[in-house]
């Protein structure tokens, strides 16, 4: 095995992240600058704000990653950087910064698919066996993969519209909850006992694809029917109706839990050779949904691997991990590497 000290950079959306990964010791540092505070006032990520913040913070984030890893830039012999998919402006800032370092240091560069980073993030801390089924769920993506080896993964299904995390954020706005919606919805759902009060529809598509736009619309129409949402002003009418907020949150989580569980169960019937399940992405921080996965895994006598919270949300450690096994396979890119949104 060749020895690499990789500087990884992730800037696909609103998080600026850098990490150092080495062949001998794995992750030496993982630094993140979160823009949540900047975007909260808008109720979601604003691409222009994200790009400008990346410009202001990317250099300091990379410097901190090097300092925490106790390495110099001269010790780095490969750059790994997210180049797809994501917001164009955000991706460009990270990629241009990475290419500048690679060119100046005369070292190779590797473009990493952000989704591949998530798909293999569970492998950072756990010896996950192959093949396994991986569900990745975040604000931008919800997909099911069959992962057969390092760098060998097949998309079995993906969302046709909204991602699960995106549905959380949009429905949170319907019931006057702050951004990001996921953590608040989980807290309120717990107070309501994780009971399905309203029976929202479980959208079923061909194969293993997902759709959360219909769920979002169903919640909205149900709120209007109850007289709790004004379509003309687009506002939750009774802002102090915490009981309704809790019940909507609870029903929503149970619904998404059912969708995830049934999809995994169907996939296991078609791919009985899988040896494990993994649940990754920002939504994998949700304790209720994790418990639903644990139930499916136990029922099918399979181990379940979920990354630590710091590796569930967007981070550069997962980009460094993927870049490392690509480097071992000599899968380097030229300095003409470009973004793909």
Annotated binding site for substrate: 136-140, 169, 182, 186, 286
Going 225 to 43 to 187 to 124, the CA torsion angle's sign is positive
Q: Which residues are annotated as a binding site for Fe cation?
A: 114, 118, 314
Q: List the one residue out of 115, 127, 126, 133 whose CA is nearest residue 278.
A: 133
- Sequence-separated (6 or more) residues with CB below 8 Å from residue 164: 137, 138, 142, 210, 212, 256, 283
Dihedral pair phi/psi, residue 113, rounded to 5°: -70, 125
- Give the chain's count of helices (H) and strands (E): 11, 12
Bond from prior residue into 180 cis (ω within 30 degrees of 0): yes
Q: Which residues are annotated as a binding site?
A: 114, 118, 136-140, 169, 182, 186, 286, 314
| Cα–Cα distance for residue pair 90/66, rounded to 1 Å | 21
Residue 56: CB atoms within 10 A of its CB come to 12
Please name the helix (run of DSSP H) or strand (run of DSSP E) that holds residue 26, with its range, or none.
strand 26-34
Radius of gyration of the chain (CA): 21
Q: Look at residue 199 and give its three-state secondary structure.
A: coil
């Amino acid at each position: 095995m060749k020895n690499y000290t990789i500087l990884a950079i992730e800037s696909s959306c609103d998080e600026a992240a850098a990490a150092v990964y080495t062949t001998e010791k794995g992750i030496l540092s993982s630094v993140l600058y979160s823009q949540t505070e900047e975007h909260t006032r808008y109720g979601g990520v604003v691409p222009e704000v994200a790009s400008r913040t990346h410009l202001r913070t990317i250099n300091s984030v990379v410097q901190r990653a090097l300092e925490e890893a106790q390495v110099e830039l001269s010790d780095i012999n490969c750059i790994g950087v997210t180049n797809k998919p994501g917001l164009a402006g955000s991706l460009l800032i990270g990629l241009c910064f990475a290419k500048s370092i690679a060119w100046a240091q005369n070292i190779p560069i590797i473009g990493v698919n952000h989704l591949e980073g998530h798909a293999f993030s569970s492998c950072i801390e756990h010896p996950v066996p192959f093949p396994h089924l991986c569900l990745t769920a975040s604000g931008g993506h919800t997909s099911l993969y069959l992962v057969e080896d390092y760098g060998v993964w097949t998309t079995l299904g993906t969302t046709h519209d909204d991602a699960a995390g995106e549905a959380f954020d949009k429905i949170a706005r319907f019931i006057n909850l702050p951004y990001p919606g996921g953590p608040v919805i989980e807290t309120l759902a717990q107070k309501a006992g994780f009971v399905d009060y309203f029976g929202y529809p479980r959208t079923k598509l061909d194969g293993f694809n997902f759709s959360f736009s219909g769920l979002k619309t169903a919640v909205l129409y149900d709120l209007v029917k109850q007289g709790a949402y004004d379509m003309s002003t687009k506002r939750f009418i009774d802002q102090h109706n915490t009981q309704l907020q809790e019940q909507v949150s609870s029903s929503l989580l149970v619904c998404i839990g059912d969708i995830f569980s049934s999809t995994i169960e169907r996939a296991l019937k078609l791919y009985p050779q899988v040896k494990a399940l993994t649940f990754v992405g920002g939504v994998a921080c949700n304790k209720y949904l994790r418990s639903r996965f644990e139930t499916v895994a136990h029922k099918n006598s399979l181990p379940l691997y979920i990354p630590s919270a710091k590796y569930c949300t967007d981070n550069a450690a997962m980009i460094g991990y993927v870049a490392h096994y690509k480097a071992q396979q000599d899968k380097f890119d030229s300095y003409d590497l470009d973004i793909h949104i």
